Structure 1
């Protein structure tokens, strides 16, 4: 499967700089940062660094200090979108630069429109040369327009001004419309009541976004008269987030005017319910050069006309193409994103083909509205539809990684919403995602277990435990240890085992819980200790007795007890005669699977390896164990499938010591031989790196080594040498 193009080297480097500020900088007295040493950046690269800092969420009053000097970092196109900045930090960092573009939209931390205009006015080069200004969603600030230095008209080079979601009023609009080069204007969701001032810029204005003007007091006829005189207008947005009928009739009347807006290429009227296909079609036929029409939540767009017109993009709900266009166009508009996702969910219920492009758009909408329950709920449902069964196999790993990241964010933000949590778990419970996709599995496992601790829904419980079981198996030893040290995780998994055992149930939930506990205790003494402290041994003894005919259950129980037996200081806890007698019965026999016998042998080998002085039970029992262990191993037939895997052979080396009883040595040699035989290249290199081959060779040469042990050791060495020879031949 082809992956998406890898990240550009410049993006990787910039991201590294963003997250290494503390190491690369020193602090000034006011707490702002300054690079230790900074070469002269190419101008474009300086803009990219600032934009990357905003994108990565590291831009703040401290880090923006690196741009205070324009000698090494010269800014032209400044993007601060959605950062946390004070007015003082903004002014200190941007005033030294000759700006051409400034995007301070949705900046929080106290920055206002007034602060921005005052800062720009303090630098005549910026005020004269600024061409694009985006201050959407900022407060206007005190004293706006009371001082002539705060007027937009003091920046005559402005071509694009975006003020959506601000408190811009009629006087502010009047000031804007005196700009001699104004080409694009966004006054959506402002306090403007009258658009007549637009006539002052009719000679230059080519793009107008004016949706959500709740305070507009113009009658429809007057509004259409003003719009009709904007003859150079190419883009007009009159959409309505309220998703109500076209009450004022503006759009309906606009569609009926034959000669209005002759230069128009793009018209957005999404959310204006009651628009008909016939009216839209007639409008478009009179303007064959139109390239976009917004029809989401209007009731229009279902006619064949909209599918055969190849040069026209439609944001609507009639098909996947229209919905995809809506998700692209309305990324910042929560209401429209939610509406588009609702229709997408319906259309993707029965899809079979992978749709990576559509999934990307869903993720984009989730990122833009992480705090919106409505968006997250329907988006997670869409993700499930888009990643079920084989569809996920045709998607790039990097896209799936981003998808998992957004699912975990949704789970974290809305922990008490059952349906959203269910959507996320359904999507995560996918082998391709859990096995192959690179993401923070430790964090995911902890999050899922934290959620599970307060839920009793059996379906969700099964999914959550399955997810955790697979995630834990993919963790590093260090991560497993950290996770196993979390008391609530061990307690929750043991509680599930207790519930199932009490009811005598054998189901996937029980098996996954046992697997998770087994993996949690693998090479983790802390987790093993935690297991014992939570009365896990008593529970597992009951499970062994209750499920004596279930080989799958017994193998998982034996595997965990073997993990405990590997921890020298915990072996005393397993010195129980009844328990060991039971383990002895599982060493061999026609009814016992080799996997169960193998781990039973591991428990007994580890317990008897510590010597007579550490053996607290009857010595005759120890002799019996060693004798039966030796004879049982000789009867084992290695399975064809992979029965076990190891991160390291370290637990086996002490058992191969020449001073160990023959049964102990034989079990360890059989274990190493088993995995080397099944996966020679992986385990041969592990033996080489860990010094295991030297231990085996010493064992072969020792005069007291039993022939059965020597044969296995010689076979392991032979397999390893062949694997090493094959590796050298491959490498030339």
Structure 2
């Protein structure tokens, strides 16, 4: 699969251009853009740039101006679908090119079919154009005469897509006069009579005609037209809204001997009353057939259609048929929904990764981002396809695309309980949260917004777990921004309050404490919000209530240590009862080293500010400093990783020669701890931040205590032996 391979260099470059268009361009007097400097693009690359701009949503009246320079950006395939474009910018950019293919389907703006035809005034372009797709456009503007709307000048067109336009019988006559027309899509138009197609019976090879609600022909008349199209190879009469009379037409078509002898593809999805026997007989009579569409027909379940053969089936009998349906009908919401219903049933007990199926679901979600029914079904299928260990066998890039679609669904339908639950269930995966590339900042906000209005305990536990892991993966800047969101802080504290009020020790409480700990890491703003939200008072209660729970104590002290690192907030912690409680935890032989370690961090930071800011009894400060020294000398580093740091910056002020020995000793012990666990990472951090020089200064200073000196020398010696310092 493409997702398993590195991204192509050309794709990386095109994505970069799309992201930096404004910087690469200057404005003309009419507001359109042109490149400051533009080399001659290879022709295929120019096509790819235009297509990529449309896909990324950056193609509009201004940016399309870069393609006016047809000497440097020569287009052959102009794919502009779903872009925001007006008639005049489109004409100026597209008219000069000798196009072979033009796709302006579902353009958002005032561009009409008439505008497109008028823009193709270039004689060379009219002769070269072979494929034109106008799906979903209005036929003509208010001031355009009906007589000006004519396809007759496009003499070279072989493929024409007019689905979803107001095409009527006179328009069909005009189209049918095109001498080279081979493929025609007139689905969901106002056509009432197909007899005009007899005008192109010699050339027509493909006819797509679903959703013709205005069609006014008897079954006999319709079969007459089809019987006079002997060269037809592809026929699509699918539709889940056709009435019983139309079903009757399809039944008669299947039973008509000798009709459409050249057919290789027939789509009759949506016609409910078809039988396997009739369809099998039709296919067997045409041995060249390669595709049959049977979704929502109650057919396709016999061995002839489910066995291995060259015949592809879009149906619902098995995963292969459903995959074909999702591929064929990706832009047709009703059929996507139908396929997803059956896919969900068939993937409830999946035991093998199916990345190809997951990719089809991702495409469906992207194509129908604002359809609740599609998103609800798709998110349920995504969970089935990624649950348990299935996500391990799926490429990271594909999982990243899936997560982006899940976040979009959460954003678009914030109040739909089941959809949000589906998304949370999928996100609650170690593979996704730890390894997959996606916007974790946005995800954390979305999950917290959902959590703030829900009380379901199971979902609450899951949501808090997700947030806890997401926050630990954010950059310092992102954490600061997230910590500034008061509702997030309040919601997490509310969960801690709920659990603490009844003395519960569960994963929800632990995850909430971890999230708050990570949220305040090196983020003074978040620490300030924590205090303003009465978090300090709550944490003092938790310390007292969970005295025997080391895991709870460690998380609480870790957050208080984050606050103690902020010089401006230290006075908030200078409460005699709190300091005494933390001092007891520092010395207690009953607590784990992790608890003592963070207790020591709080006390070291509080004592580091000097006597001038210590507003408690000075004798207590002397006791704190002395107990720090004696307690640290008894610590043994744990075998497992206890803590990690993004920077050593908070430690450097503690190493100053003016600091008490106990304060210095705690900082050096902390640095030694993490350097021993991951020497390459922390050795580089020390060198990049200038910590190496600070340690050497500490070692050589005459007032440095021998215990501090020995530990600092041990750090440098160990890092040098492992070649972690230059």
Same fold by TM (over 0.5)?
yes
Q: Following the alignment from structure 1 to structure 2, what is the Cα–Cα distance between the partners of residues 35 and 478? A: 33
Matches within 5 A, 1:113-152: 113-120=113-120, 122-142=121-141, 146=145, 148-152=147-151
Residue 647 of structure 1 corresponds to 646
Aligned-partner Cα distance in 2 for 1:130–1:713? 76
Matched, 1:561 2:567: no
53-62 or 710-719: bigger deviation: 710-719
Helix, strand or coil for the counterpart of 1:118?
A: helix
- Distance in 2 separating the partners of 1:564 and 1:170: 76
Deviation larger for 215-224 or 454-463: 454-463
Name the SS for the 1:26 alignment partner.
strand
More displaced stretch, 317-326 vs 660-669: 660-669
Question: Per the alignment, do residues 611 and 145 of structure 1 end up closer, same or farther by CA in structure 2, a change over 3 Å counting?
Answer: closer
Structure 2 residue matching 1:301: 3-state secondary structure: coil
- Residue equivalent to 1:161: 160
Q: What does residue 199 of structure 2 align with?
A: 200
**How far apart are 1:131 and its partner, in Å?**
1.0
User: Relative to structure 2, which stretch is displaced further, 464-473 or 656-665?
Assistant: 656-665
Partner of 1:286: 285
Contact persistence 1:608–1:615 (CA under 8 A): yes
In structure 2, stretches of 5+ residues that fail to align are none
In structure 1, C-alpha distance between the alignment counterparts of 2:257 and 2:58, rounded to whole Å: 52
Q: Is the 8 A contact 2:604 2:663 kept in 1?
A: yes
Name the CA distance, whole Å, in 1 between partners of 2:247 and 2:480: 65
Structure 2 CA distance for partners of 1:471 and 1:344, relative to 1, 3 Å: same
Name the CA distance, whole Å, in 1 between partners of 2:101 and 2:434: 45
2:302 equivalent to 1:303: yes
Summarize the Cα distance change of 1:388–1:311 in structure 2 as closer, same or farther, 3 Å threshold: same
Asked whether the 8 Å contact 1:401–1:437 carries over to 2, the reply is yes
> Structure 1, residues 290-342: CA drift from partner, whole Å, max 9, x if none?
10000111111110111335110000111011111111100010011111111
Structure 1 gap ranges (5+) = none
Change (3 A) 1:610 1:142: closer
Please state how far the C-alpha of 1:244 moved relative to its aligned partner. 6.8
Aligned residue number for residue 435 of structure 2:
436
Deviates more, 1:195-204 or 1:10-19: 10-19
Alignment correspondent of 1:47: 47
Are the aligned partners of 1:2 and 1:396 in contact in 2 as well (CA < 8 Å)?
A: no
Q: Distance in 1 between matches of 2:450 and 2:315?
A: 37
Following the alignment from structure 2 to structure 1, what is the Cα–Cα distance between the partners of residues 295 and 3? 32
Task: Report the alpha carbon displacement of residue 695 of structure 1 after superposing the two structures with TM.
Answer: 1.6
Instruction: Give the match for residue 78 of structure 2.
Output: 78
1:497 lines up with 2:496 in the alignment? yes
2:383 match: secondary structure: helix
Aligned partner of 1:705 in structure 2 is: 704
> What's the CA shift string for 1:480-514, capped at 9, x where partnerless?
11111111111111111112212222221111111
Report whether the alignment pairs 1:226 with 2:225: yes
What pairs with 1:381-420 in structure 2 (closer than 5 Å)?
381-420=380-419
Contact 1:243/1:297 (8 A) holds in 2: no
For the structure 1 residues 309 and 609, does the alpha-carbon distance in structure 2 shift closer, same or farther, using more than 3 Å as the test?
closer
| CA drift at 1:145 | 9.3
How far apart, CA to CA, are the structure 2 residues paired with 1:493 and 1:699?
Answer: 41
Superimposed CA distance per residue, residues 377-418 of structure 1 (whole angstroms, 9 cap, x where no aligned partner): 000000101111111011111111111100000000011111
Query: Deviation of residue 248 (structure 1)?
Result: 4.0
1:444: Cα distance to partner?
A: 1.2
Q: Hey, what does 1:93 align to over in structure 2?
A: 93
Matches of 1:149 and 1:242 in 2, distance apart?
A: 34
SS in 2 for 1:267: strand
Which residue pairs with 1:21 in the alignment? 21
Hey, what does 1:103 align to over in structure 2? 103
Provide the residue aligned with 1:610 in structure 2.
609
SS in 2 for 1:154: coil
Give the Cα–Cα distance (whole angstroms) in 1 for the partners of residues 718 and 257 of structure 2: 85
| C-alpha deviation, 1:363, in angstroms | 0.1
Give the equivalent residue in structure 2 for 1:572.
571
Superposition pairs for residues 540-551 of structure 1, below 5 Å? 540-551=539-550
Equivalents in 2 of 1:653, 1:676: separation in Å?
15
CA deviation digits over 1:175-234, x for unaligned, max 9?
111111100000001000010111111111000000010011101111011111110000
- RMSD over aligned Cα, in angstroms? 1.6
Q: Would you say the 8 A contact 1:114–1:144 is kept in 2?
A: no
SS in 2 for 1:185: strand
CA distance in 2, matches of 1:13, 1:479: 27
> Scaled by the length of structure 2, what TM-score is found?
0.98
Instruction: State the Cα distance separating 1:27 from its structure 2 match.
Output: 1.0
Work out whether residues 518 and 556 of structure 1, in 8 Å CA contact, stay in contact via their aligned partners in 2.
yes
- Residue 354 of structure 1: how far off its partner (Å): 0.8
Which residue number corresponds to residue 38 of structure 2? 38
The ranges of structure 1 where at least 4 consecutive aligned residues each deviate by more than 3 angstroms after the TM superposition are 142-149, 243-248
CA distance in 1, matches of 2:697, 2:399: 49
Q: Aligned with 1:293: secondary structure?
A: strand
The correspondence of residues 475-624 of structure 1 with structure 2, limited to 5 A, is: 475-624=474-623
Q: Closer, same or farther in 2 for the Cα pair 1:666/1:246, shift >3 Å? A: farther
- Tell me, what secondary structure is at the counterpart of 1:152? coil
Change beyond 3 A, Cα 1:659–1:243: farther
Please report the TM-score for the alignment, with normalisation by the length of structure 1.
Answer: 0.97
Q: What is the deviation of 1:566?
A: 0.6
Moved more, 11-20 or 189-198: 11-20
- More off after superposition, 150-159 vs 415-424: 150-159
Is the contact made by 1:115 and 1:141 (CA closer than 8 Å) also made in structure 2?
yes
Instruction: Compute the displacement of 1:74 (Å).
Output: 1.9
Counterpart contact for 2:587–2:596, Cα < 8 Å: yes
Structure 1's 97 and 136: CA in aligned 2 closer, same or farther, altered over 3 A? same
In the superposition, relative to structure 1, how do residues 514 and 143 fare at CA in structure 2: closer, same or farther (>3 Å)? closer
Distance 2:37 2:687 in 1: 45
Render the CA deviation track for 1:637-671: whole Å, top value 9, x for unaligned: 21111000011111111112222111111111111
Cα distance change of structure 1 residues 85 and 621 upon mapping to structure 2, 3 Å threshold: same
Q: Are the counterparts in 1 of residues 176 and 196 from structure 2 also a CA contact under 8 Å?
A: yes
Residue 260 of structure 1: SS of its match in structure 2? coil
Q: Distance in 2 between matches of 1:85 and 1:3?
A: 32
Q: Deviations over 1:403-452 (max 9, x none)?
A: 11000000000111110000001101111101111111111111211222
> In structure 2, what is the Cα distance between the partners aligned to 1:313 and 1:203?
27
Q: Distance in 2 between matches of 1:568 and 1:338?
A: 58
C-alpha distance in structure 2 between counterparts of 1:302 and 1:243, whole Å: 22
